Structure 1
Amino acid sequence: MGVERLLMVSTGSAYATSLPFWLDWLRASYTGLEVSVVLTGSARRFVTRQALAHRVAGDVLFDEWPEDEVHARHVALAEWAEALVVYPATLHYTARLALGLADSPSLLAAQCTRAPIAVAPALPPGGLDSPAFREHWSQLSARPNVVMVPPEQGRSLTTGRMEAWVPPTLPEVIERLEGRRVQLVDDHRVHPERKALL
């Protein structure tokens, strides 16, 4: 991987339970990589800060602005991250990102960073065919620094049927993230005047 600092945002899908496993994989696969994690309020229903804290060299933060915090968390996140992964990304978080909303530190950081961003959705039955989700997918795909990683069909934890959409493996997400990072670097070399737009 061509970055040294990766920010992972985990949202409120049941697939957030896999985050400890994938953080162990990142640590074993990329020994020099510093990872920080942001958990949304809904993600905290599925994974705890304690389950992640010893698996990362960076911070495990909640996606909120603490009242007693002196520094702007969103600025610190945007400046620190050389790449950002939303894993898993719920339909709700994806929509907020696509609409340009910035009502949490992770969203505001994602809206303001030039770093490459990979979004790996986890969707309920019918979610992939939702007109709203398809529109949000298209909007995010049009952003130069965002890569949308298609979910895979999987078993719904609610119905037990193969009708949900689960996030792909983290290695696939990282591969696509790195591909987008390389594209951005190449684009800056060929068109340095675009730097201000990215």
Structure 2
Amino acid sequence: MLGSGHQDTGGSSEDAVVAGPPELGISRMLLVITGSASATAMPFWVTWLRETYPELQITIVVTRMAQRFVTRQALALRIHDDVLIDEWPADAVTARHVELCEWAQAILVYPATMQFIARLALGMADSPALLAAQCSSAPIAIAPALPPGGLDSAALRRHWATLAERDNIVLMPPREGKSLTTGRMDGWVPTALPDVLRRLEACRHELDKRERAVGLNTIDWRAL
């Protein structure tokens, strides 16, 4: 299994929900949905988020490939707001990536495809969500959904190791699941969302603690 100090494994979605939701110390979350068949479950999870954290503001960005599996309308109905496509509007008068980066107190990529993981690890910034993630110091949780053989891919392992070096990124190994193509239990589905949020909150707490420690150890030369 892929290794990193910021990783954890999760059980089934039902077990995670029954175990109870974690407390969140944020009020604004950017949810990025990429083009995996696991995106079909996102209306359920977005409904769960809204019911569990009624004060949480959620901005949803979907990739073009994600729209093969879930519609923007299905998601928008659950957050009572527009769902963005991960591209820059031709008639934009503001920089969407800057707005997303400054607004989000946490970023959740769920599910994350191998394509998105690779682009993030390589430093690519060819979409608003990617550029926002590259520039953000907020905690970012990556929950992959992988095809058969994806977990053992040399490319994935290389990109995983690269992302594991970033203090603000939480990598959640996927769990075994049934491949819709092969019909066998050789696919990989995202860790249940409550477990991802639990690790995301732990990362946020650790980042805040480090920031406070740096602040306490910083000398204000202007006061001397």
Q: Distance in 1 between matches of 2:136 and 2:116?
A: 17
Q: Distance in 2 between matches of 1:62 and 1:192?
A: 38
Q: After TM superposition, give the deviation of residue 192 of structure 1 in Å.
A: 3.1
Aligned to 2:47: 24
Q: Distance in 1 between matches of 2:81 and 2:139?
A: 19
Superposition RMSD on alpha carbons, in Å?
A: 1.4
Q: Letter of the aligned partner of 1:3 in structure 2?
A: I
Q: Distance in 1 between matches of 2:216 and 2:150?
A: 39
Aligned to 1:182: 205
Match of 1:164 among 187, 199, 204: 187
Aligned to 2:25: 2
Q: Does 1:39 align with 2:58?
A: no
Q: Does 1:134 align with 2:175?
A: no
Q: Distance in 2 between matches of 1:11 and 1:150?
A: 16
The structure with the larger Rg is 2
Deviations 1:97-136 (A, max 9, x none): 0000000000000000111000000000000100110111
Gapped runs of 5+ residues in structure 1?
Answer: none
Q: After TM superposition, give the deviation of residue 57 of structure 1 in Å.
A: 4.7
Gapped runs of 5+ residues in structure 2?
Answer: 1-23, 219-224
Q: After TM superposition, give the deviation of residue 59 of structure 1 in Å.
A: 3.7
Deviations 1:151-194 (A, max 9, x none): 00111110010111110111111111001000100111222389
Correspondence list, 1:110-129, <5 A:
110-129=133-152
Could you list the structure 1 runs, at least 4 aligned residues long, displaced by more than 2 angstroms after superposition: 191-195
Per the alignment, in what secondary structure is the counterpart of residue 191 of structure 1? helix
Q: Does 1:99 align with 2:122?
A: yes
Output the TM-score relative to the length of structure 1.
Answer: 0.95
Q: Distance in 1 between matches of 2:151 and 2:216?
A: 37
Q: Distance in 1 between matches of 2:80 and 2:95?
A: 21
Per the alignment, in what secondary structure is the counterpart of residue 119 of structure 2? helix
Q: Letter of the aligned partner of 1:123 in structure 2?
A: L
Q: Letter of the aligned partner of 2:37 in structure 1?
A: A
Number of aligned residue pairs: give it. 195
Aligned to 2:169: 146
Q: Does 1:11 align with 2:34?
A: yes
